[in-house]
């Protein structure tokens, strides 16, 4: 309506103003009349020779111009914010995902979005949830099986945990599988509480009496070094131990009746507000094979 009134002022008549804003003249006339009734102010003087603004209409046009200018500045500012937001993506990932999967996913994303600025925050799964819920990151990736109900999530990959030991550990030459009772009774080198690896292990051994940990460490690399040094057995992702197993530094011990397969999820706060680049990253994570 404001655009129509300003157009009437600029073009000198209701019919010309209506054409300028793409309205049929009868529709424009009815719209102005309805607005006059709503405001209680006569805006246009109608006569057989045409229509022109009243003195009150001239005042309202001045105000309307100011409002339209402010609205245009608002749109310009919001567009700039949107462009800035869409040019930067902040991702949080738990350690296993960050060390072994995120680099490939982000490399593919940069090929598709070469001007995108990406920031990566690496924390354990529980801290990733906190960052996502606080709105400090656009999307998170975790491997823990326990997902907060407040978050949206999507499965993107599967990962398997294995029991690893040093080559001189008694389990290194085992042929009979290690079951949950024996694993629970062992003093293991474990990740810290809140990590997806620790949570998966705790869930797999739930209900079985547990020995105290030999060591509790905050990274996969630290656990690998401790195990290779003879500190005891550990349960880690296949991804995290692949190179050490290939080199002979670690040995995978056989297991049975242990649920050590876990799903890696993307998590975010609201599906409707998922950052466009984050949506692309989630799609990439879902289609690239784990190797």
| pLDDT at residue 93, as a whole number | 97
Segments in the chain forming alpha helices (H): 2-11, 14-20, 25-39, 55-86, 95-100, 102-112, 125-133, 180-185, 196-204, 220-228, 238-247, 276-287
CATH number at residue 57: 1.10.10.10
Same domain, 20 and 51: yes
Dist. CA 30–CA 42, nearest whole Å: 13
| pLDDT at residue 205, as a whole number | 97
Digit-coded pLDDT (tens) for 4-32: 767 777 777 777 777 876 888 787 778 77
Digit-coded pLDDT (tens) for 219-270: 999 999 999 999 999 999 999 999 999 999 999 999 999 999 999 999 999 7
Number of domains in the chain: 3
Same domain, 186 and 50: no
Same domain, 169 and 38: no
| pLDDT at residue 19, as a whole number | 80
Measured in degrees and rounded to the nearest 5, phi and psi for residue 50 equal 135, -165
Same domain, 185 and 247: yes
Same domain, 33 and 79: yes
DSSP string, 7-39: HHHHHSSHHHHHHHTT--HHHHHHHHHHHHHHH
Strand pairing report for 215-217 and 189-191 = parallel
The reply to whether the predicted model has a pTM over 0.75 is no
| pLDDT at residue 80, as a whole number | 47
Contact partners, residue 95, CB within 8 Å, separation at least 6? 122, 123, 124, 195, 197, 219, 220
User: What's the maximum distance between 2 C-alpha atoms anywhere in the chain?
Assistant: 106
Q: What is the mean pLDDT of each run of 10 residues along the chain (291 residues)?
A: 73 75 78 78 75 78 76 62 67 95 95 92 96 94 93 95 98 96 98 95 96 96 97 97 97 96 94 82 93 65
25-39 helix and 2-11 helix, angle to the nearest 10 degrees: 110
Measured in degrees and rounded to the nearest 5, phi and psi for residue 168 equal -95, 5
CATH number at residue 170: 3.40.190.10
Same domain, 68 and 98: no
| pLDDT at residue 38, as a whole number | 79
β-pair partners for 164: 234, 252
Which domain covers residue 51, as residue numbers?
A: 2-85
**Count of other CB atoms within 10 angstroms of residue 103:** 11
């Amino acid at each position: 309506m404001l655009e129509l009134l300003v157009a009437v002022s600029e073009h000198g008549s209701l019919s010309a103003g209506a054409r300028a804003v793409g309205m049929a003249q009868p529709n424009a006339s009815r719209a102005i009349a309805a607005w006059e009734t709503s405001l209680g102010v006569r805006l246009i003087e109608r006569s057989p020779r045409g229509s022109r603004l009243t003195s009150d209409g001239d005042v309202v046009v001045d105000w309307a111009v100011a409002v339209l200018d402010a609205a245009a500045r608002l749109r310009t500012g919001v567009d700039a914010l949107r462009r800035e937001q869409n040019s930067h993506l902040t991702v949080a990932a738990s350690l296993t995902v960050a060390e072994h999967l995120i680099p490939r996913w982000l490399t593919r994303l940069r090929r598709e979005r070469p001007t995108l600025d990406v920031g990566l925050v690496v924390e354990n799964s529980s801290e990733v949830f906190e960052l996502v819920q606080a709105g400090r990151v656009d999307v998170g990736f975790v491997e823990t099986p326990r997902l907060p109900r407040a978050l949206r999530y999507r499965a993107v990959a599967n990962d398997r945990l294995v029991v690893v030991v040093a080559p001189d550990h008694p389990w290194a030459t085992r042929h009979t599988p290690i079951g949950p009772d024996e694993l629970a009774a062992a003093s293991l080198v474990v990740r810290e509480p809140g990590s997806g690896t620790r949570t998966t292990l705790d869930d797999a051994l739930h209900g079985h009496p547990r020995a105290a940990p030999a060591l509790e460490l905050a990274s996969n690399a630290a656990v690998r070094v401790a195990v290779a040094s003879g500190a005891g057995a550990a349960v880690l992702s296949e991804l995290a131990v692949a190179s050490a197993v290939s080199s002979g530094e670690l040995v995978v011990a056989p297991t049975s009746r242990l649920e050590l397969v876990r799903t890696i999820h993307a998590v975010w706060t609201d599906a409707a507000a998922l950052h466009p680049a984050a949506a692309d990253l989630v799609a990439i994570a879902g289609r690239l094979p784990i190797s």
